[in-house]
Structure 1
Amino acid sequence: MLFAILIGFLWACVLVFAGTQLKGRAAILNAIVPVGLFVYFASFIPEVLNNGPILKTYQWVSSMGVDLNFNLDGLSLIFVLMITGIGAMVFIYTSAYMKGSAHLDRFYGYLSMFMASMLGLVLSDNLITVFVFWELTSVVSFFLIGYNSRQEDSRKAALMSLGVTGLGGMLLLGGVILMGSVGGSYSIQELLNSGVVFSESSSYILILFFIIGAAFTKSAQFPFHFWLPLAMKAPTPVSTYLHSATMVKAGIYLLLRLSPLLGNDPSWNNTLMAFGGITMLYGAWHTLFRTDLKSILAYSTISALGILTFLIGIGSEEAFLAALIFILVHALYKATLFLVAGSIDKASGTRDILKLGGLAKYMIPVAIAGFLAAVSNAGMPPSFGFLGKDLIYEATLGTGTMAIFITAAAVITNVLLLYAGFVAGIKPFVGRLPEELVDDVRKLSPVIWLPPLILGVLCLVFGLFPFIGESLVRPAVEAVAGEPYDFHIKLWHGFNIILLLSGITIASGFVLYFLIRPSQKKVDLMEKADFIGPLSFTQLSSIGFERISLMWTRFFTSGYVRYYLIAVMIFVIGVVGYELFIGTHVYMDFATLKEVSFYEMGTILIMILGIGVAVFSPSRLTALAALGVLGYAICIIFVFYGAPDLAMTQFAIDTLTVILFVLVLYRLPKYLKLSDTRSRFRDGVIAISFGLLITLLILEVLGQPVNRELSAYYAENAYLLAKGKNVVNVILVDFRGIDTMVEITVLAISALGVYSLLKLQMQKSDIE
């Protein structure tokens, strides 16, 4: 299972070296990867249906509770089949749709990486690895959405999607860490088996905020929905793959997966129902005011995601069943409609519904695919969408006192979605072809119209044979509901209230379709109201944040090292000094100190004298010599206290420092007073305060009990393990050899930098 996840990343690496050979007609060979993975995961269907989940564990960072645990159960099985199955159609479609693209190999690499990231997300049983793959999907989608990097709109859309979903990633990280802390494990299965009740934890509300916020950003719930229509700037294969079956459903998957742990609580259920209800109505309503095919499909996708969130919020077994069936329904018809929209754009050069019509005779297979998808989207029998819509109504009717209002909202949403589906899937093919397109419609390759036709036919097949969807969904419902649920999906349930609601939905949708015509006036009207939308608020917030960041940077990033040092010292003095002031302290007993000898006192007086000369000398060279005297005096102190090796090291460093300073001073202008009396007084106060603080810290450290276990270990093992009698040298070279090597590397890099600055000869033109 691990290799199945990694193969997408490995294939992307292969494309780096073999990408040029997989362009043109050979590009279709890229579809081997998702097709093979689809067959691989499909082979597990009998085992999952009959024997239950398949668990695989690979050790990773076990000491921190993070392992590569993968769980193929009913829920993850549905998602991996969608990811690989629809992925295979997209890979095939891309080979013809993007034929001639200069960076087709790169595009396929991004698609492969995204497929692998999604597989890792839905298969992971560890919350930390869920987060890792979650972030990978955001990063890779950034490159896919911004694939046309020369277009400013594409770059902005990619940044917006990354910003919103990146925020969700931060929220998810906080949520999973809290869940692991409360539950004592990051394994989802262990949390389920432990019986931990998160709703009883004091952190429950915070966990909900993090998890729900992450899911809402990824699955485009109001008010985070705006990134999805912007992402339609991406090539059509990206829109099909990311925004119908995979990325936008990652948040839905997260809610379903964690429902057994976080659900069955009013805070969870009411939040999902409220935001899901708003999103499904908001998205469906916006489809009335759009004329671009992909824009219509984007807002209808937002509405569908709202329906799924709404159903998960209801939390009943009937609602979970409806949500899981609708996930499959939506993936099939929405992927078909996106591919149809791309085919229309490829053939006619436009996606504007106001300029389209009569295309059926030019692209019959695409027209059939669009019709089948529109019928399933409308929930008309005998399509798969008919089953999904009936199950939605069955779930809403069982919600108790609010059933009437909840069901009415679902009916209104489905009516508007029927309109959107007909506009996108049927309207471009009926009527008369505009005169300006008569000579411009191009013939499509079978590789372009075959994938949408296959998916469109599946919309009908799953409806005619409901046992297919039932067998796939049954273990998924059990995984989400936490217990077995007996149900049977049928195409015909007799005359009942649900059938009546379906009839009302279809009839009202037809009336709406024939009464309301798309127009540019509606688009302009909606654009005038955009200033009060979440997108406008986000853009204004971004501008404000950028301005504040610029002011903050200009204030703190002055370019002068002395101000940075002053800021650091004041902060340390304030924080550490406050702790020293309010804390309980045990200072060392001065009575235990030895008497100070006259030569030690003499050395200290030399140090004080050196400090005074360095501070008040008007000559740089004199000040430098005084600092050298100070360094050598410290070396003598080390000798007094039995550390000759440390003294020699300090002696070498001070000597080298003085020499380097002399070389630098040779390049500098004559001594100038660049600070006034006030600045020097300020610097003196800060320096004395910082020195006093360090002195107090040292005294407190010396007064604390000493644990010499580590010192004893080094002393005992220096010769035994490293064959060295000098313990300090052994520690530096052997026990902490890597640390020492890094320090040497840093010093070498610094020396190279200093040398390059000394040798740099700036030309006048460079300065200007």
Structure 2
Amino acid sequence: MLFTVLTGLITSSLLVPFGKLIKTKWSIVLPFIPVILFLFYLWHVPVIANGTNVIQHLAWVPSLGVNFDFRLDGLSLLFALLITGIGTGIFFYARSYLKGHIYFDRFFAYLLLFMSAMLGVVLSDNILTLFVFWELTSISSFFLIGFNNDSKASRSSALMALSITGMGGFFLLAGLILVGNIAGTFIISELFAYHDQLVSHPLYPLIVGLLCIGAFTKSAQFPFHFWLPGAMKAPTPVSAYLHSATMVKAGIYLLARFTPILGDTELWKITLMVVGGFTMIFAAVHSLFRTDLKGILAYSTVSALGILTFLLGIGTTDALVAVSVFILVHALYKATLFMVTGIIDHETHTRDITKLKGLRKVMMPVFIASLLAALSSAGVPSTFGFIGKDLIYEATLNFRESWTIWLTALAVLTNIGLVTAGFRAGIKPFSGKLPETFQQASLPYQSMWIPPLILAVLGILFGLFPGVVGDYFTHQTANAIAGGETDMHLQLWHGFNTVLTLSGATLAAGVALYFANNPTEEKLLALERFNVISSQHLFRQLGKGIRRASSWYTNKIHNGYLRSYHLKIILFAELLLGYKLWLGGPIQIDYANLTPLSWYEFGIAAILMGALYIIVTTKSRLTSVVSTSVIGYCLCLMFVFYSAPDLGMTQFTIDTLTTVLFVLVLYKLPPFINFMNRGVVIRDAIVALGFGIIISMIVLRVLYEPTTTDISDFYGENAYILAKGKNVVNVILVDFRGLDTMFETVVLAVAALGVYSLLKLRLKSSEKE
């Protein structure tokens, strides 16, 4: 499984040096990468269908509990098949859609990176590696959404998506760490045994809140939903892949995966039901006012994600079975409709449904795919969408008796909106008489219309043979979500009952609404008057407020003056250390036990004070630097007097080097110091004296702290045994604190590169101005 995750990452990196080859005849190789991965996971279907999970463990950073742990069960297999299967269609589709594009190779590098990140999310059995791949999906989707980087709207949409999902990732990380620390393990499959311990923990409400924020932001739940419609500025292959079957369902996957770990509580259920329920009806209503095909599909996607969240909140066996089926239902018809939208835009250069009609006469295969997908989205009998809709109604009808009517009514109203939206996106552009404007439109490359046609046909075949789909795919998915056996058996016909009546009423109402209410620009503008109270507007205002606060903070604190930085750092240190000293109470000094001062110590102190006096009074920069070095050398002698020659030599070396560097830096500066006003000098003197007094008090307190040598003894005894080194200090730096030393080395290397680049910088005269 690790190989399948790394395949996309490795290939993505190879597209950087070999991108020119990919732009030519070798581009045909790209779609076969997801094909191979799809066949690999398809080969595991019989194994998973029998209830056997495939587990892979590879040590990565075992000391930190971070390993490559992968687990293939019903839930992860379904998502892996969607990621690679629909990914195959998208790769063939995008190869023709973006043919001749200047950034053709770059697009597929981003797409491969995203595919690998999504596979990593759904396959990870370690919550830390899951988070790493989770963030990688946000980063790669940022590149994909902002692919048309010459468009300001695309850049803005990409930044918005990254901001929302990145913020959610921060909260998710906090929640995952809390879960791992409470349970004592970061292995997801081991967390199932800690359900009772986690839900009874005092931090359980906080964990649920953090986890839900992470999932809601990624899966576009209210009030974080607005980034997804905004992301429609991305090329259509991106929308078809990310916003129908993969990225936006990552949050759904997370909630489904943690349902047996954190679910089955009132807090969990109410949170998901309220947020999901409001999101699904809110987005369904919004989809009715959109005139842009992508806008309709975006809001209907948000609504479908709300349905999945809503069902996970209900949490009954019927609801979890409905989740497992509807994930597949939605992915099939929504990916098809997005690809059809891309074909329409590619051939007619518009997505406005008030202008589009009659396209069936020039795009018959595309129309067939679109029609089948629209029928599945509407839940017409014999389609897979029909079974998915029935299962939703069964879940609401079989929930708590007092809630049945309200939940079912909410589901019916939502589905009516989705029926209408599906017909508008899938049927309206092809019905009616073909305008002269589109007479020149034609059927695109086969690689563009065959993938959506295949997905649409699968939506019909799965509906005709639901038992096969249930036995081999969704049964084990439902079991994984429920954390036990669900005894799921899908059937096309359940007889005449309440569920069938509701499905028929939904379909009839949706069709009636489709014919009765046509969206127009006037209606859309009337709706946009309420944007002032929308969550998007509020988030933008919050962003502006943060920007203003950041500007104020930067101008006041980070004003570019080194002396200002020093002053603030020292003041903060004084406050912190002073507060700590105050908490410790008065300092008791036993003068009898203090070592008497020798004459040479008095002499060194006198020299030090004299150098200090020269520093604060001289107007010569060079004199000030030399006097500073005298203070450093005095400290070297102090180290030598107190039996620390190694520290003395280190101090001597550093002080000498510092002096030389100061002289070189100050070489071109004016030779005299321009003193600031007297008030500033007095202020700095007070701050400096205060710092010196606090440090002296700390030293006196340390003298009377009990001395323990446990740490020193450990390093002394184990330096040679464990690290094979006799120099204890070197062993500590290189072995015991090797990671810390490595990062310090990296910091120094980065600083050196920065200095080198500044030395080599050659500005033009216009740039200097």
TM-score (norm 1): 0.94
- Distance, in Å, in 2 between the alignment partners of 1:279 and 1:121 is 24
Letter in 2 for 1:225: H
Cα deviation for residue 94 of structure 1 reads 0.9
**Aligned residue runs from structure 1 range 92-131, under 5 A:** 92-131=92-131
Contact 2:164 2:217 in 1 (8 A): yes
TM-score (norm 2): 0.94
Cα deviation for residue 202 of structure 1 reads 0.5
- Distance, in Å, in 2 between the alignment partners of 1:86 and 1:356 is 27
**Aligned residue runs from structure 1 range 34-53, under 5 A:** 34-53=34-53
Contact 1:276 1:306 in 2 (8 A): yes
Q: Does residue 641 in structure 1 map to residue 637 in structure 2?
A: no
Q: Does residue 321 in structure 1 map to residue 321 in structure 2?
A: yes
Cα deviation for residue 712 of structure 1 reads 5.2
- Distance, in Å, in 2 between the alignment partners of 1:541 and 1:495 is 52
Change (3 A) 1:76 1:607: same
Instruction: Point out the more displaced range, 669-678 or 560-569.
Output: 669-678
Letter in 2 for 1:308: L
Letter in 1 for 2:116: A
Cα deviation for residue 621 of structure 1 reads 4.4
Q: Does residue 89 in structure 1 map to residue 54 in structure 2?
A: no
Q: Deviations over 1:633-658 (max 9, x none)?
A: 33332332234454444444444444
Secondary structure in 2 matching 1:354:
coil
Change (3 A) 1:318 1:694: same
Letter in 2 for 1:113: L
Contact 1:587 1:704 in 2 (8 A): no
Could you tell me which residue of structure 2 aligns to residue 485 of structure 1? Answer: 486
Change (3 A) 1:571 1:301: same
Contact 1:24 1:95 in 2 (8 A): no
Contact 2:220 2:228 in 1 (8 A): yes
Could you tell me which residue of structure 2 aligns to residue 148 of structure 1? Answer: 148
- Distance, in Å, in 1 between the alignment partners of 2:332 and 2:225 is 22
Secondary structure in 2 matching 1:186:
coil
**Aligned residue runs from structure 1 range 697-712, under 5 A:** 697-709=698-710, 711=712
Could you tell me which residue of structure 2 aligns to residue 506 of structure 1? Answer: 507
Could you tell me which residue of structure 2 aligns to residue 415 of structure 1? Answer: 416
Contact 1:24 1:100 in 2 (8 A): no
Cα deviation for residue 153 of structure 1 reads 0.7
Q: Deviations over 1:534-590 (max 9, x none)?
A: 111111111121111111101111211111011001101101110110125776744
Instruction: Point out the more displaced range, 644-653 or 415-424.
Output: 644-653
Secondary structure in 1 matching 2:71:
strand
Instruction: Point out the more displaced range, 200-209 or 749-758.
Output: 749-758
- Distance, in Å, in 2 between the alignment partners of 1:116 and 1:46 is 24
Change (3 A) 1:718 1:376: closer
Cα deviation for residue 723 of structure 1 reads 11
Secondary structure in 2 matching 1:323:
helix
Contact 1:378 1:417 in 2 (8 A): yes
Change (3 A) 1:137 1:662: closer
Secondary structure in 1 matching 2:442:
coil
**Aligned residue runs from structure 1 range 470-481, under 5 A:** 470-471=470-471, 472-481=473-482
- Distance, in Å, in 1 between the alignment partners of 2:110 and 2:416 is 37
Could you tell me which residue of structure 1 aligns to residue 284 of structure 2? Answer: 284
Could you tell me which residue of structure 2 aligns to residue 65 of structure 1? Answer: 65
- Distance, in Å, in 2 between the alignment partners of 1:665 and 1:297 is 64
Q: Deviations over 1:670-707 (max 9, x none)?
A: 42443122111111111111111111222222322333
Instruction: Point out the more displaced range, 60-69 or 354-363.
Output: 60-69
Cα deviation for residue 467 of structure 1 reads 1.1
Change (3 A) 1:566 1:189: same
Secondary structure in 2 matching 1:212:
helix
- Distance, in Å, in 1 between the alignment partners of 2:73 and 2:730 is 56
Letter in 1 for 2:406: F
Contact 1:24 1:99 in 2 (8 A): no
**Aligned residue runs from structure 1 range 85-234, under 5 A:** 85-234=85-234
Cα deviation for residue 105 of structure 1 reads 1.3
Q: Deviations over 1:587-644 (max 9, x none)?
A: 6744333221222222222222222232223444444443343333333323322344
Q: Does residue 342 in structure 1 map to residue 342 in structure 2?
A: yes
Could you tell me which residue of structure 2 aligns to residue 516 of structure 1? Answer: 517
Give the gaps of 5 or more residues in structure 2. none
Could you tell me which residue of structure 2 aligns to residue 535 of structure 1? Answer: 536
- Distance, in Å, in 1 between the alignment partners of 2:760 and 2:356 is 68
Could you tell me which residue of structure 1 aligns to residue 267 of structure 2? Answer: 267
- Distance, in Å, in 1 between the alignment partners of 2:181 and 2:607 is 57
Could you tell me which residue of structure 2 aligns to residue 311 of structure 1? Answer: 311
Q: Does residue 463 in structure 1 map to residue 497 in structure 2?
A: no
Could you tell me which residue of structure 2 aligns to residue 600 of structure 1? Answer: 601
Contact 1:586 1:704 in 2 (8 A): no
RMSD: 2.8
Cα deviation for residue 125 of structure 1 reads 1.1
Instruction: Point out the more displaced range, 64-73 or 321-330.
Output: 64-73
Instruction: Point out the more displaced range, 291-300 or 732-741.
Output: 732-741
Change (3 A) 1:240 1:528: same
- Distance, in Å, in 2 between the alignment partners of 1:429 and 1:246 is 28
Instruction: Point out the more displaced range, 132-141 or 589-598.
Output: 589-598
Give the gaps of 5 or more residues in structure 1. none
Q: Deviations over 1:115-142 (max 9, x none)?
A: 1111110111111111111101000000
Change (3 A) 1:723 1:483: closer
Q: Deviations over 1:687-738 (max 9, x none)?
A: 1111111112222223223333554577779999999999878988999899
Change (3 A) 1:65 1:676: same
Q: Does residue 16 in structure 1 map to residue 16 in structure 2?
A: yes
Letter in 2 for 1:640: F
- Distance, in Å, in 1 between the alignment partners of 2:632 and 2:677 is 28
Q: Does residue 626 in structure 1 map to residue 653 in structure 2?
A: no
Contact 1:236 1:338 in 2 (8 A): yes
Q: Identity over the aligned pairs, expressed in percent?
A: 51
Letter in 2 for 1:294: K
Cα deviation for residue 510 of structure 1 reads 1.4
Aligned residue pairs, count: 767
- Distance, in Å, in 1 between the alignment partners of 2:646 and 2:751 is 25
Cα deviation for residue 403 of structure 1 reads 0.6
Contact 1:586 1:703 in 2 (8 A): no
Contact 1:54 1:72 in 2 (8 A): yes
Contact 1:183 1:196 in 2 (8 A): no
Cα deviation for residue 746 of structure 1 reads 7.7
Instruction: Point out the more displaced range, 539-548 or 659-668.
Output: 659-668
Cα deviation for residue 278 of structure 1 reads 0.8
Q: Deviations over 1:417-453 (max 9, x none)?
A: 1111111111111110112222x31331111110011
Change (3 A) 1:24 1:521: farther
- Distance, in Å, in 1 between the alignment partners of 2:724 and 2:432 is 92
Could you tell me which residue of structure 2 aligns to residue 547 of structure 1? Answer: 548
Could you tell me which residue of structure 2 aligns to residue 562 of structure 1? Answer: 563
Secondary structure in 2 matching 1:170:
helix
- Distance, in Å, in 2 between the alignment partners of 1:638 and 1:596 is 15
